[in-house]
Amino acid sequence: MKYNKQTSKRDKNQRESNIPTKKQSFSNLNKVNNGVFVFTKSLTVGELAKELNINASDIIKKLFLQKKLVTINNYLDDETIGEICLEFGYDFKKQEIVNEEDFEKAEIQDKEEDLVERPAVVTIMGHVDHGKTTLIDAIRNSNLAAAEYGGISQEIGAYQKVINGKKITFIDTPGHEAFSAMRARGASVTDIVILVVAADDGVMPQTIEAIDHAKAANVPIIVAVNKMDVPGANPDKVLNGLMQHDVIAEKFGGDVLTCEISAKKKQNIDELLEDVLLQAEMLQLKANPKRYAIGTVLEAELDKGEGPKATLLVQNGTLFASDYVVVGTAYGKVRRMTNEHKQVIKEAGPGTPLSVIGLSEVPAAGDRFMAFPTEKQAKDIAEKRRLKKVEEERAKGNGVNSLDDLYSKINEGQLAQINIVLKADSTGSAEAVKASLEKLNNDQVKVNVIRSAAGAITESDILLAGASNAIIYGFNVRPSAMIRKKAEEEKVEIRLHRIIYALTEEMEDAIKGQMKKVEVEKVTGQAEVRNVFKVSKVGQIAGCMVTDGLIKSTNKVRILRDGAIIYEGEIESLKRFKDDAKEVKQGFECGIKIKNFNDISVGDIIEGYEMVEKDA
Ligand code: GDP
């Protein structure tokens, strides 16, 4: 155990950074690597000769023969550098210099000797009802020693299996949306697609869609002809059908591996997995565990107890607990890493899916992440990315920054575009709300969701909304008092909802110019729970400090944990010391008993509000 720890520590310290530090300036990249001369800038004849280990006079001579007169100090253009490389037996490559904040674009080059085999990452696709979910279950449970994990259910949407001593990583989300959503964000995580086709049904529209997705992503397909146990199963019909879409089985002279299975009866699953290994071998998937981790967010949510929680796939390098990670515009220290069985792990190498907590915001699925050696570097890069995003959105701004504005624009007969920043309690609800909002688009109105993510409303949301004239919609999340103030300062409208229908109806009304007089809630104040007392027969009393505004005994309240609502109800009693109080102001302590709620904990925020009549 001790030995392992030491090895990990040594590896950790020896990791290579993905972004060159100032010391290792980019000019160091002008090097020959495996017979390829990689250059980032133009070079003089003398510099090039030195790098290629040839005489400058040979270059001058060669160019002279092409009637180009140069001296040792002349700079060469990219094309000439390329020509000279080829002439002297080197391949060449021009590498763009990438700013560190654009790390997604940085081309990582590993030395051949650092590369090791990595697990293949597999996604299962196919037409609805052809058996994707059943196959995922069959694979997950195949040769799993039941006792091994004591029946602990899988925690994250990806898992690894060991087949013949080799690992395969499966991404769980069946369906094409997840796959294409990732691709739309420029993320490619899948190495191999298993295409499930039911033998009693054949090639169907979504089968074709899956083929298109896989082809567009240049990912090889393995066909799982499923439901072979059903009488009338006709595998040849399936393979013939696929041939029309250029998926040609080995049996018919093509290069696509196929396997006849029954996911339901768990037949031939091992054979299918062996095909995956075979395909993986052909792809020669390799990565360098000795660098700081780079990878992609598979899914993310705001966990009520633990804050932002993300499932990551490490694609290159190794991630260690306590590494600093930048993802999207956020950064954070990895506080805890767990595998799919909820076991804490200390490190995660290439191809490993894992769950992490410790990020400052909930990232979006498909976001790339990168680990950095120091907190300062991670923080600086995250900050630069945030500013850049604000700039980009500012450029898109169009002057509608409240629902009232929206209506007046439409009234004036102009096409009104309304920008929306949407924060919700989970990625799923964010997607659902976004989809319903976008359905409202018509000739007069363009509803443009510029950010949609899970998590509490943060300062960066307000800055983004302010810069791009957007309205912030909070769905099942609440802003803290600090965030509310910030929003007021920046003149950003925050609207909060708990039902999708109410949210879209409000927007529809605004579009139609029918903003009605409605009861709206007005937050009176917030209190932070500092102590929790248990009183027999009464229940839990929260010892609080009013941190903003005032708390009234008549208030309705909601309990917030990490910005998400965990309970809504009423105040049963409000006390200052032993006496009942009508209201308690900011800066004062009080005891609050919430009606029918005994699950409060230190750090929770109690938000008091009342309903008032107002123009919406
Ligand atoms: P998905 O929509 O592709 O995820 O399909 P499901 O996995 O939900 O399967 C759809 C239906 O087909 C379910 O009723 C399954 O029990 C059934 N099914 C899946 N695989 C098999 C199989 O190998 N044989 C038979 N007979 N039924 C299957």
The residue to mutate among 194, 260, 264, 266, having the most atoms of ligand 1 within 8 angstroms of its beta carbon, is 264
Which residues lie closer than 8 Å to 288 by C-beta, 6 or more apart? Answer: 16, 110, 111, 114, 115, 116, 316, 317, 350
pLDDT of residue 562: 84
Please give the Cα distance from 355 to 321 (Å, whole number).
11
pLDDT of residue 492: 87
Distance 137 CA to ligand 1 centre (A): 11
- Rounded to the nearest integer, the mean pLDDT of the chain is 83
Strand, helix or coil for residue 610: strand
402 or 162, which is more confident: 162
Which of 363, 355, 592, 561 has the alpha carbon at shortest distance from 476? 561
Distance 128 CA to ligand 1 centre (A): 9
Distance 485 CA to ligand 1 centre (A): 53
pLDDT of residue 428: 80
Distance 432 CA to ligand 1 centre (A): 26
Distance 223 CA to ligand 1 centre (A): 16
pLDDT of residue 194: 95
Q: What is the pLDDT of residues 193-246, one digit of tens each?
A: 999 999 999 999 889 888 888 887 889 999 999 999 999 899 999 999 999 999
pLDDT of residue 152: 39
Which of 477, 479, 427 has the alpha carbon at shortest distance from 452? 427
The residue to mutate among 124, 129, 193, 262, having the most atoms of ligand 1 within 8 angstroms of its beta carbon, is 129
Question: Which residue has a Cα nearest atom 9 of ligand 1?
Answer: 131
Q: What is the pLDDT of residues 419-432, one digit of tens each?
A: 889 999 888 888 88
Distance 207 CA to ligand 1 centre (A): 15
Please give the Cα distance from 186 to 325 (Å, whole number).
19
Give mean pLDDT, residues 344-357.
94
Q: Which residues line ligand 1 (CB under 6 A)?
A: 126, 128-134, 174, 226-227, 229-230, 262-264
Atom of ligand 1 nearest to the CA of 174: 4
pLDDT of residue 22: 42
451 or 266, which is more confident: 266
